[in-house]
Structure 1
Amino acid sequence: MLNEFVYCPRLFHLEWVQQQFATSDDVEEGLYLHRVVDRETGDLPDKSEAWDGRVARSVSLSSPRLGLATRLDLVEDGGDGTVVPVDYKKGHPNRDGRAWSSDRMQSLVQALLLREEGYAVERAEIWYAETRQRVHIAVDDAAMQEITDTVARAWRVASDPVAPPPLRDSPKCARCSLVGICLPDELEALKTPPRQRRPLKRLMAPVLEGRPVYVTLQGATVGVRSDRLEVRSSGELQASYRLIDVSQVCVFGNVTVSAQGVRALLSRDIPVLWFSYGGWFSGMAEGLPGKNVDLRIAQFRASEEQQLEIARRMISGKIRNSRTMLRRNARAELGRVGDQLKELAIQARQADSPQQLLGIEGTAARLYFASFPAMVGKGSRVDVSDFQENGRTRRPPKDPLNALLSFCYTLLVKDLTVTLSGIGFDPYYGMFHRPRFGRPALALDLAEEFRPLIAESVVLQVLNNGEVGPRDFRSRAGGCMLETSGRKAVLRAYERRLDQEITHPQFGYKASYRRVMDIQARVLGAVMLGELDEYTAMVTR
């Protein structure tokens, strides 16, 4: 990781201290290149033995005294009683034909640890695959002092729970695999007054993760075979997906996931999420929890005032997004509702207590949902007149519109729970929603500003486009629920919405709603860790 420290101290902190990692094309190409030296062959001979042209591959060394460990790609006989560590790199030397500073530092670490073991090392080499050439690096007293000083600085950075600030306008960021986690330009933009911000170039690394797999076939069995996720019913294969294309496995009702399948999925950090037959989010299984302990400590240590300020901004953002939804989609005159919502959004930013904020949010919700049927077109195949009488109802929802809203909210909270957990948050400890057994309070907090943008937009889409009809619902014991056909239609619409790209209102680049949710969670993390002074809600214009 010392080469990461030389390349960018923040990258070093994110990867080594916070244990955050993301792959990229460069990383994968490097792994492919290393296949020829990752297989352990040969041994380092005793220091007193002659090398006689020996070669050792994939050699691990460490020094408790220095606090360093490394794996050497190749160690060769120097021919004069010395040994030569050779490091493999996929790229090319710099313009002067020399090794890049970060690559040079990694080779010097290898030389230092070989010296610690008693071997004579006078030079190191780097083999650059792109130009197919070796670059020599002198290993002298000045180089050893340089590496010692660099190690000391790296330990000082590692001991600080707060990551160093991002690089500013650096060409390094564009090729960094962690640019989508670090958000260098985004954090800098949020520190700038809105009117002074310039649109950002799209630096974010592509989202390489796959897509969720939803299994609604009752009696089905989910397993993993030959790196593929398989869904079977009565022994017959119903569907098969490459594991690299899967981000989540969501099972509804009476669906079995094999023990071998769960183990294979968790080993790849693919969570398994269980829902009741009716769509209630029951729980999830994931691999080891996020390693970003410092973020969870900051989350738990947040003062009541800081929590209230973040909640104010989230609820104000939700109300503003709700008002925008009505203004864009209402097919009837709304009267003063728009002005009332605008005033309530302002009041939310000024709330003196969580109780007052809760009252403002409840008032805004009543106004909003009272006008919600006005956004449903006359061509809808589903009668929403009962919603006007019932209003917003839950557990159970009493009419089709309420059933759609509840199901879409469940999907939204499910995705935000996974996102927050992956970043390192505890999704069950919130800022606005109070902790309660089994309640993902922080996911519910972050969902507030996305309810109109994603969940409610999906509801309007499936109604106004005729994607669901009367036969997609079933009423029983005073409640209403989606049938299997209705759930499948909503799931398709929901995934389409997440993949839809918009121009980000804060940063000016194109991003899908799936990516925007990840960005918002990371912005919240930056606030918790003190990298940003205030939280900025996701509000469309």
Structure 2
Amino acid sequence: MRRLLNTLYVFTEDAYLALDGENVVVRRGEGELGRVPLHTLEGILCFSYRGASPGLMGACAERGVALSFFDRKGRFLAGVHGEQRGNVLLRKAQYAWSEDPEKSVAVARNFIVGKLYNGRWVLERAVRDHGLRIDADAVKAASGRLDASMRGAASCESMDRLRGIEGDAAAEYFGVFDELILRDKEAFRFAGRVRRPPTDAVNAMLSLFYAVLAHDCAAALEGVGLDPYVGFMHVDRPGRRSLALDLMEELRPIMADRFVLSAVNNRVMRPGQFERRESGEVRLTDEGRRALFGAWQERKRETIMHPFLKEKIPRGLVPHVQALLLARCIRGDLDGYPPFLWK
């Protein structure tokens, strides 16, 4: 089993990352903000405009440390990749599957079944735990519609129809998402999913952590020898990690959505940790990012029972396990891809 290591997040805008011996050094001007042993890291997410030294990028590529660069909005810009790993036959099989409509739909519908199942249980969990504080009837009704959509997705034979089912179900899910926010309702009011740019605090957090989750899924896919840029449901596009976006679909509700809800409801985040730009865009402050990513690191260390493996693993390893199961499916070791079904 892969070992869960740490991820280094660099938010200081004018910080520069360099390599000093076996350490990642974060510098600002002539000063040093900190250093971390490279061997303790599985990833580095850099939100600084100054970037990193070639020496550090080369060391990350050589040692399999995922180094990714984001802009201040959390949008992925670029990543450092070393020599491709894994059996070339696995990637050839992946490419062949991506060109086969029947096999692509077979994998994609399991991604979406997993997403709808997990989204439904996010709603059901809220009814169970907070039924007297929310509009339980509305949330239960949305859960029922997600269940119907999940059954439709499970038997779907068309990619276009599958995308339509997923889109309709997402509208149902986010239509009651505001009910799940229990504290500071005015500051964290959620009227619907808004992406570019996010215009409220909840959308700002969701967009950021969807980007982080996509990064984790891409690293997991590369780790098992799959190409994160060649997907089954998300169409190929230059620079888009389509398979990572596919893989993260089932993980969005349980890893990103519930995390954001917990951050608000448990008062990890406060209204003052966001700022509104003249354009209407809402962003996290530096203090807000530090608080949120600190909670994210703790969340990844929590132990859960994997429903397919029947083993306890850290939550942060879920993308790696799912990537491994996907690779086994493509190799023919499994009859189908088993989505992560949270319970």
Give the TM-score normalised by the residue count of structure 2.
0.93
Which of 220, 238, 241 matches 1:440? 241
Cross-structure match for 2:283? 481
Number of the residue aligned with 1:311: 108
Aligned position for 1:366: 171
CA shift, 1:536, in A, is 0.9
Measure, in 1, the Cα distance between the counterparts of 2:280 and 2:158: 37
Identity among equivalent pairs (%): 32
- The Cα offsets for residues 396-427 of structure 1, whole Å up to 9 and x where unpaired, read as 11111111110110110011011111221111
Distance 2:151 2:229 in 1: 28
Aligned ranges 1:390-401 → 2 under 5 Å: 391-401=192-202
Residue 321 in structure 1 maps to residue 118 in structure 2: yes
SS in 2 for 1:284: strand
Deviations 1:8-62 (CA, angstroms, capped at 9, x unpaired):
xxxxxxxxxxxxxxxxxxxxxxxxxxxxxxxxxxxxxxxxxxxxxxxxxxxxxxx
Structure 1 counterpart of 2:78, one-letter code? G
SS at match of 2:73: coil
Q: Is the 8 A contact 1:416 1:446 kept in 2?
A: yes
Aligned residue in 2 for 1:383: 187
Structure 2 CA distance for aligned equivalents of residues 500 and 415 of structure 1 = 16
| 1:356 corresponds to 2:158 | no
C-alpha deviation, 1:382, in angstroms: 6.3
Q: Partner of 1:344 in structure 2?
A: 149
Question: 245, 255, 272: which one pairs with 2:50?
Answer: 255
- Aligned with residue 515 of structure 1, among 317, 321, 325: 317
| 1:314 and 1:448 in contact (8 A); partners too | yes
Contact 2:86 2:226 in 1 (8 A): no
Task: Name whichever of 302-311 and 476-485 sits farther off.
Answer: 476-485
Structure 2 CA distance for partners of 1:340 and 1:443, relative to 1, 3 Å: same
Q: Secondary structure at the match of 1:467?
A: coil
Give a deviation string over 1:259-301, Cα, whole Å, max 9, x none. 2222232222223210001211111012112242111100011
Which sections of structure 2, spanning at least 5 residues, go unmatched?
none
TM-score (norm 1): 0.59
Report matched runs for 1:5-24 at 5 Å: none
SS at match of 1:336: helix
Change (3 A) 1:320 1:463: same
Q: CA RMSD in A?
A: 1.5
Query: Which of the pair is proportionally richer in helix?
Result: 2
Structure 2 residue corresponding to 1:504, chosen from 306, 309, 319:
306
Which of the pair has the greater relative contact order for Cα pairs under 8 Å at 6+ separation?
2
1:229 match: 24
Q: Which amino acid is 2:11 matched to?
A: T
What is the number of equivalent residue pairs in this alignment?
A: 332
Residue 451 of structure 1 is matched in structure 2 by: 252
C-alpha spacing 1:262/1:382, structure 2 compared with 1 (3 Å): farther
Which stretch has the larger CA shift, 413-422 or 469-478?
469-478
Q: 1:270 to 1:382 in 2, by over 3 A?
A: farther
1:381 to partner: Cα distance: 7.2
1:165-223 superposed Cα distances (whole Å, 9 cap, x missing partner): xxxxxxxxxxxxxxx3xxxxxxxxxxxxxxxxxxxxxxxxxx44531111111211211
Q: What is the CA–CA distance in structure 2 between the aligned matches of 1:432 and 1:223, rounded to whole Å?
A: 38
The CA distance in 1 between the partners of 2:271 and 2:185, in whole Å, is 7
1:127 corresponds to:
none
How far 1:498 sits from its partner (Å)? 1.7
Q: Secondary structure at the match of 1:274?
A: strand
| Alpha-carbon separation, structure 2, partners of 1:255 and 1:499 | 30
Instruction: Name the larger-Rg structure.
Output: 1
Q: Which residue of 1 aligns with 2:297?
A: 495
Q: CA deviation at 1:513?
A: 1.8
Q: Deviation of residue 491 (structure 1)?
A: 1.2
Q: What is the DSSP-based 3-state SS (H/G/I as helix, E as strand, rest coil) of the residue aligned with 1:257?
A: coil
Aligned-residue offset at 1:335? 4.3
